[in-house]
Structure 1
């Protein structure tokens, strides 16, 4: 069965695109984690054994369902605190081809604002109406501190400064638009260089690249 790895810069909408497709396995959904430094949910991830059992069941069910191909999102061995079993990871990637989803930076900022700020704040407030905003704020700061070493001290301080300015603006106006500043900085200064480095090291051939509509049409012909 052909296997396609859905790749692309952070914010292109890989997960949303993947979940619209009929022939896919959602590794991040099974792991209950978005697969990045900012990928934790309020609820904890499942235990490793529960994740492995759910993944094995999903793969067995998929293989017996007669799908023409398998599409899954590009992941490392670790998804949050969970590890993809080495044999499954190797089996998924060996002989696979990469599909690269591409969108402009402004759209990536829009998508990340929706995910990291608007939807995340709503989840935190639903979870804890009295302290949800503080919980969300602390979760973002914790994620920013987790990438301090890789980002570098000066850029980390700049990221924190932009985040604090966005918080003040939101408190004053009730709007989330100011968060675009730190999100754009995070994408271009942290995520993008890391992605390009990983792609340079990857041996997977690129079968197709394009925006969501083009990728959707290409997959429909498989």
Structure 2
């Protein structure tokens, strides 16, 4: 759908672009459609410092965009202290980018356990073994922790660790960027306004 004739909310457009990215990914192009840069704010002295990393989108709907992580990781602690977050999807093969700004909140335990059950067993064990973002002495220390987890859950299903969780970023602003010739790109911004959304086009 053209960006100068936008739908009333950003979600039909996100659905269309995300589906295009998944189709391109399925065509063996070298990128992940679900990869998104997550930016958070961390305390730094008397102020705040932005920090970014790439995470994977696992679910989305009109409530927001979901990713999973250790809750005591850097990003988990940062979002607990300041829930403001930003996401960026960048699909250079399609010359498209989507920016999302909003507030992050923990997903329910039921959602965490449902997602955990879909993960490969090795990833489930890794969630128990890794103290994410904390210093380790060497690789052997991590591998020993994995071995202990393997022994602990040798004869049973691996449950979701209590420190494993997820966050849903509820969008308050979304920008759709479409690359064009001569760098005259299209930019469409949605912003929450009361119970609805406003839209405006931006110069490239």
TM-score, normalised with respect to structure 2: 0.31
More helix by share: 1
TM-score, normalised with respect to structure 1: 0.29
Higher relative contact order (CA 8 A, sep 6+): 1
Bigger radius of gyration = 2
